[in-house]
Structure 1
Amino acid sequence: MQHLEDDLFKAPLPAPLWLDTFEAVDKHIMCHQSTLSPLPRTSILQDDCLITNVFVPDTEQTKLPVIVYVHGGAYQIGYGNMFTPKALVKSKKVIAVTFNYRLGAHGFLCLGTEDIPGNAGMKDQVALLRWVQKNIAKFGGNPNDVTIAGYSAGSSAADLLMLSKSTKGLFKEVIPESGASVGVWSVQIDPLEIAKEFAISQNFTDVDDFYALEEFYKSAPFEVLTSANFLTRSDSTFMFVPCIERYTETERFLDDAPVNILKSGNYNKVPLLYGFANMEGLLRVQMGYDLFTYKMNSKFSDFLPGDLKFESEAQKEEVAKQIKEFYFGDKAIAEETILAYIDYFTDVLFAYPTLRAVKYHAEAGNNQVYLYEYSFPENQMLPKSIQTKIRGANHCAQTQAVFDPPPKDSPWAHLDNKSEDFIRLRAIMRELWLNFITTGKPVPSASSLPAWPPANASRAPYMSLTMPPQLVDGPLLERRTRFWDAIYDKYYRTPVPPSTPPPKIHSDL
């Protein structure tokens, strides 16, 4: 007999068919997620949570291009309408789609078994894209003209969707906004070790018995599965995120490490609008700053990216010393060096992975990668002693510019910027994004905006998105990128799939 818990971690079932009119009312249904999530008061959390939202313009025109947005939240929190794309739709040039997908352990536990093969949350996204291809024409959309986009973890997800064999033919362009497939937090380094680590944190000790471990997860309530504190991990990983799957009888979403796929050139090379904000590391000022600075001064090596490996502890400490001196010199990590602290986490979490991927794309022959850095200074909720030193853009600030202003009761309401310069930049940003969605280029030949050629393997040129936008001929963050190139060329640890489970021992007792 098949039990419900046997299906919790599998790919989603096909969408239901409606014989009568379906009242598509937004009931604020969201997937189970971390208790750290700042959800609206009206949220309803449930396991049957795969909801799609379709935004259709007021026009009789059909076969409109479609933009599908993947929400962010470190693969642990969030929901489809966390931010809404109504302003893009009001242009009457596109149809927009947002949606939920399974999160945390529910979406990304990866044991490589029949019941828990891995990447359930990514398979939810693939199912959504297949649903769009099959149904979007009924809403006036063109199923053969789909762009996938995402912000933060959604950016990483969109980047991974591009590399997956399961998405072939489902999209034409990709817009990853602050998050790359090769990033330290985008793919689990060792899924089985992550599964054991979390189980131990929940006082389950029999982790070396593989099938006891599997049963722990299949029987654990959602309150347990969503209890991990993913924000304070010092190695810049978030535990349950996408994984490389071992071969099973089910369809795999990802069968190799993103770095290997990009280097092989064996993927769908499509136009990419690729970039990040210049102060992404502000995220780490708002979350865990006091704890992190104290611990970084005590033992900086604990804060090296989790996808680096070393032959010995002495080698690790030596590399940690090089990295600390590169960013902080001989100074302590404190308010005096706050900009270096921001740069460090900007690079580790977002900037360097994006720029590393740009290099691989160019070397693989993808000559349609449009690179940008968004740097318009925004409102910051920081201590006054720090705030005066900050003139830049926080994590996913470009998404805030493209999407609708957050509602007044939103946890992100403070991000709304009403300055005249920002309003002008917002109009330009939306024009660039709409251009890319409809033509595959952010600046088509007939546009009055500055020309924007694709980037090459040296990460140049790139568009500086501030007011006014300006094309920069030189490489983006050249000194910092070359530094990390040398580190990753020597010490990179390639993610692996879970190992083959041991044979089951059957007993008649």
Structure 2
Amino acid sequence: MVLLQICVAVAVFLEAVCATSLGVVYTEGGMVEGQNIRLGFRRHMDVFRGVPFADIPGRFEKPKRHPGWDGILKAKEYRKRCLQLNLLMTDTRGSEDCLYLNIWVPHDRKVSTNLPVMVWIYGGGYLVGGSMGANFLDNYLYDGQEIADRGNVIVVTLGYRVGTLGFLSTGESDMPGNYGLWDQQAAIAWVHRNIRSFGGDPNNITIFGESAGGASVSFQTLTPHNKGLFRRAISQSGVALCPWGIIKNPRRHAEEVALKVNCPTDSRMASCLKMTDPVLLTMAGTLNLQSSPDKPVVDNLYLSAVVDGDFLPDHPTKLFHNAAEIDYIAGANDMDGHIFTAIDIPSLNSMLVDTPIDDLKTLLSSYTRDKGKAGMENAFATYSANWGTNPDRETIKKTAVAIGTDYIFLVPTQAALYLHDKHATTGRTYSYMFSEPNRLGGLTTPYPRWMGADHADDLQYVFGKPFSTPLGYWPKYRDLSRYMIAYWTNFAKTGNPNQGDSEVPATWPEFKSDGHKYLEIHHNMNKNYVHQKMRMRYVHFWTSILPSLPDMTKSE
């Protein structure tokens, strides 16, 4: 017994002495030191928190390179997220000093070198969000440890400006907008320049994100400013073509903000806004959640990207040639629109209350406003075609969710995939639908029994929460998380989600014009979860039939 204890003590001592770690890392700004954590026998990970990738940004200006620091920067604590509204929109949180990133580097028996790199861009409607520590209570949703460990990749998460400070634009050169997108681009460029020092391969970088982060990923593939900086991209529930992706008339909202903070709306507006207190500016960018079917919440997302002639030299539909060499995965959740449509039509979540068919027609009228009565009637005919003469309550509610899902996420994602495949030279294209039902479906009031995968339901599985917080999940959820991490990290390594170091439950075919195949992602998936032509009737309606109808003038 004593001999066994001595042997164990010696083994622990030797592992501690031989712990694999990068130690102090030299970057362009200076030296940084992270935290080394033990994951298992002969398995360690270096975690760097709060590494600056740019200087404190100037108000409504592009980010600038960090001037550097003396000595060793202790990168062991998260920094503040970028200044933003709190979830109740009653106050602000965060700081203007927020352009930092975090890095997870896994090591096996020796210090890692030349690992693939995955850079995460968070969502939040361009209004809120952050990658700096706990998102909710003590749970840090975007912790890169599980992906890095299970997929043997480096994971990077970053901060970027959101809300008014990140996206307000006058539509002119005095305040062109897209500052948050420039922040992301600066972080990607920093990773490309510096990641080799952390054991990463600068020529094998994948960017991935969800919702506004997924749209951001899409924008980053389309801008000409990222040539050669990354090879692959994954957009989850958001692309540049989403109806909330581009703001057509940014000046109108800039004037609304100016009036709220007592700035003039003439030629002096931009200079006044630049001198205004940042908290006041942020509070002036609140989202109006008093929506209804005739004023849907998606129409209230005033802060987003703009065609500025620089980051986006043209409308996104005309920029897909810039993504010709980028491998691309994009997809949506099967009920992605639920959370938004339920705000527009509150009766959706009441299982004992009917949802009026007129609410569906009103919502469709809002989504097809440019086409007048003909737009709504064609849309309603498309969505009620399978109803029969007397649709039940559940059918009507699920149809409302499908309308929101298609319009806000699914159809734009399919359109982006078509364009990516059409313009691709060496870049491969993959499509998916995530269909794992929401874990609260039928258990609590906000989620009905028939609930599928709501917006953001995929995040917990991509980031391995069933492993890091196992008491909150059944074993089937660990299967699903394992599958998603395998597909995502295989793709980051090879450009093919089926090929890498991780086994997958079904071969995911490329999205090509001969069938437009896609993978349905679910905890018990197998080869029968490969389908083709996702929701083709509805995609055809929104992308071909509706645009062919005559536009209605305002006078009509």
TM-score tier after normalising by the smaller chain length: 0.7 to 0.9
2:455 maps to 395
* 1:378/1:394 contact within 8 Å kept: yes
1:455 equivalent in alignment to 2:503: no
1:490 equivalent in alignment to 2:548: yes
1:284 positional shift: 2.0
1:317 equivalent in alignment to 2:373: yes
1:442 equivalent in alignment to 2:505: no
Partner Cα distance (1:365, 1:13) in 2: 32
Partner Cα distance (1:142, 1:390) in 2: 44
Partner Cα distance (1:359, 1:91) in 2: 32
2:20 maps to none
Partner Cα distance (2:226, 2:471) in 1: 35
1:370 positional shift: 0.9
* 1:297/1:332 contact within 8 Å kept: no
Any unmatched runs of 5+ in structure 1? 247-251, 494-509
2:279 maps to 222
1:476 maps to 534
CA deviations on 1:59-87 (whole Å, 9 max, x unpaired) are: 41211110000000011100014422211
> Kindly tell me: are residues 217 and 348 of structure 1, through their superposed partners in 2, closer, same or farther at Cα, counting changes over 3 Å?
farther
> Kindly tell me: are residues 68 and 266 of structure 1, through their superposed partners in 2, closer, same or farther at Cα, counting changes over 3 Å?
closer
In structure 1, give the amino acid aligned to 2:525.
P
In structure 2, give the amino acid aligned to 1:404.
G
Partner Cα distance (1:395, 1:129) in 2: 26
> Which residue of 51, 61, 64 corresponds with 2:100?
51
SS class of match (2:255)? helix
> Kindly tell me: are residues 222 and 448 of structure 1, through their superposed partners in 2, closer, same or farther at Cα, counting changes over 3 Å?
closer
1:438 positional shift: 0.7
* 1:276/1:398 contact within 8 Å kept: no
> Kindly tell me: are residues 289 and 217 of structure 1, through their superposed partners in 2, closer, same or farther at Cα, counting changes over 3 Å?
farther
Partner Cα distance (2:304, 2:539) in 1: 25
2:429 maps to 369
1:404 maps to 464
* 2:442/2:449 contact within 8 Å kept: no
1:348 positional shift: 1.0
* 2:231/2:325 contact within 8 Å kept: no
> Kindly tell me: are residues 92 and 128 of structure 1, through their superposed partners in 2, closer, same or farther at Cα, counting changes over 3 Å?
same
CA deviations on 1:451-492 (whole Å, 9 max, x unpaired) are: 222112476211111112444342111111111122453369
TM-score normalised according to structure 2 size? 0.75
> Kindly tell me: are residues 125 and 210 of structure 1, through their superposed partners in 2, closer, same or farther at Cα, counting changes over 3 Å?
same
* 1:235/1:303 contact within 8 Å kept: no
CA deviations on 1:193-218 (whole Å, 9 max, x unpaired) are: 23234445x275953x2433652464
Partner Cα distance (2:378, 2:444) in 1: 31
2:120 maps to 69
1:244 equivalent in alignment to 2:244: no
1:187 positional shift: 1.3
SS class of match (2:431)? strand
1:401 positional shift: 1.0
2:80 maps to 29
Between the two structures, name the one with larger relative contact order (CA 8 Å, sep ≥ 6). 1
In structure 2, give the amino acid aligned to 1:476.
M
1:506 maps to none
1:423 equivalent in alignment to 2:473: no
> Which residue of 457, 471, 487 corresponds with 1:432?
487
Any unmatched runs of 5+ in structure 2? 1-54, 136-141, 349-354, 552-556
SS class of match (1:36)? coil
Partner Cα distance (2:82, 2:315) in 1: 27
In structure 2, give the amino acid aligned to 1:242.
A
> Kindly tell me: are residues 320 and 131 of structure 1, through their superposed partners in 2, closer, same or farther at Cα, counting changes over 3 Å?
same
2:32 maps to none
1:318 positional shift: 2.8
SS class of match (1:56)? strand
Identity fraction in percent: 25
* 1:331/1:337 contact within 8 Å kept: no
5 Å matches for 1:287-298?
287-290=343-346, 297=359
> Kindly tell me: are residues 270 and 92 of structure 1, through their superposed partners in 2, closer, same or farther at Cα, counting changes over 3 Å?
closer
SS class of match (1:243)? coil
CA deviations on 1:257-292 (whole Å, 9 max, x unpaired) are: 111223xx3444311121111110222256454289
2:227 maps to 168
1:194 maps to 253
Partner Cα distance (1:433, 1:58) in 2: 19
Partner Cα distance (1:55, 1:5) in 2: 23
SS class of match (2:465)? coil
> Kindly tell me: are residues 301 and 152 of structure 1, through their superposed partners in 2, closer, same or farther at Cα, counting changes over 3 Å?
closer
SS class of match (2:219)? helix
1:282 equivalent in alignment to 2:282: no
CA deviations on 1:224-245 (whole Å, 9 max, x unpaired) are: 4334115446262411111110
1:181 positional shift: 0.9
Q: Which deviates more, 383-392 or 169-178?
A: 383-392
SS class of match (1:57)? strand
1:261 equivalent in alignment to 2:324: no
1:136 equivalent in alignment to 2:171: no
In structure 1, give the amino acid aligned to 2:298.
S
Partner Cα distance (2:240, 2:512) in 1: 19
CA deviations on 1:30-75 (whole Å, 9 max, x unpaired) are: 1111233699x9x961111112111111341211110000000011
Partner Cα distance (1:327, 1:384) in 2: 28
Q: Which deviates more, 328-337 or 277-286?
A: 328-337
In structure 2, give the amino acid aligned to 1:26.
E
Q: Which deviates more, 226-235 or 334-343?
A: 226-235
Partner Cα distance (2:59, 2:417) in 1: 36
CA deviations on 1:69-120 (whole Å, 9 max, x unpaired) are: 0000011100014422211111261110001100011001122445422111
SS class of match (1:219)? coil
1:300 equivalent in alignment to 2:333: no
> Kindly tell me: are residues 291 and 390 of structure 1, through their superposed partners in 2, closer, same or farther at Cα, counting changes over 3 Å?
closer
> Which residue of 375, 379, 382 corresponds with 1:326?
382
1:503 maps to none
1:111 equivalent in alignment to 2:141: no
CA deviations on 1:405-450 (whole Å, 9 max, x unpaired) are: 2999xxxx9x996122222121111111111011110012995642
> Kindly tell me: are residues 172 and 116 of structure 1, through their superposed partners in 2, closer, same or farther at Cα, counting changes over 3 Å?
same
In structure 2, give the amino acid aligned to 1:110.
S
Partner Cα distance (1:277, 1:224) in 2: 34
- Higher strand fraction: Structure 1 or Structure 2? 2
1:317 positional shift: 2.9
SS class of match (1:91)? helix
2:418 maps to 359
Partner Cα distance (2:198, 2:93) in 1: 27
1:378 equivalent in alignment to 2:413: no
Partner Cα distance (1:489, 1:353) in 2: 13
* 2:57/2:64 contact within 8 Å kept: no
1:211 equivalent in alignment to 2:274: no
Partner Cα distance (1:435, 1:492) in 2: 46
* 1:9/1:115 contact within 8 Å kept: no
